[in-house]
């Protein structure tokens, strides 16, 4: 039998999703969803993972579940094609995590670069919550519970998928072939891998206040784009400008489609021509930003409108999550049963001990 093609991915509900999430992962998911190449697609709102560093703020996690669900639907994730569910509503994931913990050493988790960076960012060095420390293991449970073959995520999640693969190999070698080895899918456009904040800082993040949100109104997007950090040495229009590492051009690389030139900036045929002019000098930041604003508005308007129409149907969104969580639990329970059998802890399944 051909192996089923299955997607699992997700996000922590700690805030609304922004354009970094969109180009880094959401856009790819929608593309894969609509490719018709996948038998099953699971999109998880990772509330349990969000609680690993928000244990004292459960209300924050709870409120953001619906926000993330709205962002998903706004981007074009389709509940008829993708099962959207809430992590903690699938308790099988916790049990799998507990078994996988025995296959991973403390030092291996300590070496995970994403965990390392996050511990530093949160000033957790002296007091890491054990649950937070173990979240890469729980993430391996998320992926394997659904027998995911494909995990479309942002670049920062790469170490998680590597760690998941190690757990799969270890489990299968100890207990026999049981779990499916997943493959990571990153966006192929480099600008999409790590979209900087509007302030030019390496990462878009809510705490830095440098995000453009999928739910932002047109006027807010404009204000943000017009205030974007550019090349600090490009002071007068005549000055030659730097394109590499310049957020305005990184955003254009991520969002601009060829047809936008004809529509909004017909003096240029394509992005290369625009970049060349900027590098030569004689092209002002305001002109580039106005163009970027038009591009961002064109890309984000349909998403915002779709979000607004789902906002009027919150009971339907609730139903999508409830039904999705039921479907997800069934699937995870099947895998858990295989895992218990492989581990010889399926005591009451065949009437003998």
Q: Which CB, 119 or 143, lies closer to ligand TRP?
A: 143
Nearest CB to ligand TRP, comparing residues 73 and 185? 185
For ligand TRP, which is the closer residue by CB, 49 or 67? Answer: 49
Query: Toward ligand TRP, which CB reaches closer, 163 or 215?
Result: 163
**DSSP bridge pairs for 83:** 42
CB of 10 to ligand TRP, least distance (A): 4
The structure tokens 């920062």 sit at 156
Task: Please identify the residue of the shown chain whose CB is closest to the bound ligand TRP.
Answer: 46
* CB-based contact 13:204 (threshold 8 Å): no
Alpha-carbon distances of 106 from 60, 110, 134, 177, rounded to whole Å: 29, 6, 9, 25
Helices (H), 203-348: 218-226, 247-255, 259-264, 271-280, 285-311, 314-342
**11-50 binders of ligand TRP (CB under 6 A):** 11-12, 46, 49
- Regarding 153 and contact with ligand TRP (CB under 6 A), the answer is yes
Shortest distance, CB of residue 233 to ligand TRP, whole angstroms? 35
51 binds ligand TRP per the rule CB under 6 A: no
- CA dihedral sign, ordered 115, 154, 306, 198: positive
How many chain residues interact with ligand TRP (CB under 6 A)? Answer: 13
Q: Does 9 bind ligand TRP (CB under 6 A)?
A: yes
Closest CA to 164 of 122, 114, 127, 92: 114
CB of 114 to ligand TRP, least distance (A): 8
User: What crossing angle do the helices spanning 285-311 and 247-255 adopt, rounded to 10°?
Assistant: 50
Nearer to ligand TRP, 132 or 260 (CB): 132
Considering only residues 85 to 144 of the shown chain, the ones binding ligand TRP according to CB under 6 A are 139, 142-143
- Here the tokens at position 281 are 């000098």
Q: How many CB atoms lie within 10 A of CB 184?
A: 18
Region near ligand TRP per CB under 6 A, out of 7-15, 70-78, 309-317, 345-353 = 7-15
Residues near ligand TRP, by CB under 6 A: 8-12, 46, 49, 139, 142-143, 151, 153, 157
């Amino acid at each position: 039998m051909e192996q089923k093609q299955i997607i699992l991915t997700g996000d922590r509900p700690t805030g609304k999703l922004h354009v970094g999430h969109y180009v880094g992962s959401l856009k790819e998911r929608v593309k894969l969803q609509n490719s018709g190449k996948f038998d099953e697609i699971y999109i998880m709102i990772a509330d349990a993972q969000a609680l690993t560093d928000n244990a004292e703020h459960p209300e924050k996690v709870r409120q953001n579940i619906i926000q993330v669900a709205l962002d998903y639907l706004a981007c074009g994730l389709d509940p008829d094609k993708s099962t959207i569910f809430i992590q903690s509503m699938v308790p099988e994931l916790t049990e799998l995590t507990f078994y996988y913990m025995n296959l991973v050493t403390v030092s291996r988790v300590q070496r995970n670069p994403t965990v390392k960076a996050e511990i530093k960012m949160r000033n957790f060095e002296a007091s890491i919550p054990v649950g937070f420390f173990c979240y890469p293991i729980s993430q391996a449970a998320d992926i394997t519970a659904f027998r995911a073959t494909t995990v479309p995520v942002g670049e920062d999640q790469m170490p998680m998928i590597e760690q998941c693969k190690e757990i799969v190999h270890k489990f299968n070698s100890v207990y026999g072939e049981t779990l499916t080895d997943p493959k990571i899918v990153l966006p192929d456009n480099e600008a999409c891998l790590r979209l900087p904040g509007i302030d030019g800082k390496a990462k878009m993040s809510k705490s830095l206040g440098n995000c453009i949100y999928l739910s932002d109104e047109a006027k807010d997007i404009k204000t943000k784009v017009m205030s974007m950090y550019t090349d600090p040495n490009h002071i007068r229009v005549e000055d030659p400008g730097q394109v590499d590492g310049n957020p305005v051009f990184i955003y254009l690389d991520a969002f601009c489609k060829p047809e936008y030139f004809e529509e909004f900036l017909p003096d240029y045929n394509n992005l290369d021509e625009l970049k060349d002019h900027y590098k030569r000098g004689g092209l002002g930041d305001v002109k580039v930003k106005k163009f970027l604003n038009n591009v961002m508005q064109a890309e984000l308007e349909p998403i915002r409108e779709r979000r607004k129409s789902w906002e009027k149907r919150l009971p339907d969104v609730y139903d999508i999550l409830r039904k999705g969580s039921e479907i997800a639990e069934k699937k995870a329970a099947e895998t858990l049963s295989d895992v218990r059998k492989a581990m010889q802890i399926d005591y009451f399944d065949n009437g003998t001990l």
